[in-house]
Amino acid sequence: MATQKDFDKKEAIFAATLELVSKHGFHSSPMSEVAKQANVAAGTIYHYFKSKDDLICALYVRLKEKTTETLLKQDDANKHYRERIRSFYLQNFRYFTQNPKEFYFLEQFSNSPFIQAIPRQDLQRLDQPIYDFLRKAVFMQAVRDIPPKIMISMLLGSVGSLVKLQLSGDFQLTSSDIEQAFFACWDGIKRQ
């Protein structure tokens, strides 16, 4: 049974890995540096994770679960789907602009060979709450009958591009800009 001390050590390892990967990338973040940054012995990491690859995959799963839970936590089932999806979109933008290390880690991981190390059913499980949310929107005839994977790509691809633009510092998005981007996406998915 995991103790609070185990949980704290694991969280410290995750935080150190996230910090190092955000600065140096996956391959230039050795376990010895993770241990040093987390203030644990190198052997301690191997108590929790079989390898560096296992640690990186576990961090991805942890961040996906955390962000999905955070993004859907404030969903109000009493509101119209346009408002619910808008809230999801805006929360996504806010969350990732406030947590850029998480954003860049998830982006980097999703576009790397590491993604192949996670079984397809686990990846589906991680996205299931969002799929369910969008399937219900289709069932309620609020949005077009677009496969959830495509709808997620449309919404999260748009948000991701805005987050990158904002974090680059090249362009400061106003709330009006973000609203316009959402409504452009909404026009693409809403039932006519």
CA angle 167, 168, 169 (to 5 degrees): 90
| Residue pointed to by tokens 């996906």 | 64
CATH H-level superfamily of 1-49: Homeodomain-like (1.10.10.60)
DSSP H/E element including 120:
helix 120-139
Per-residue pLDDT at 2: 67
Q: Is the pLDDT of residue 7 over 80?
A: no
| Domain coordinates in residue numbering, the chain | 1-49, 63-189
pLDDT tens track for 8-30: 899 999 999 999 999 999 989 99
- In this structure, whether the domain defined by 63-189 belongs to CATH 3.40.1390.10 is answered with no
Q: Is the pLDDT of residue 1 over 70?
A: no
Task: Give the residue-averaged pLDDT of 71-93.
Answer: 93
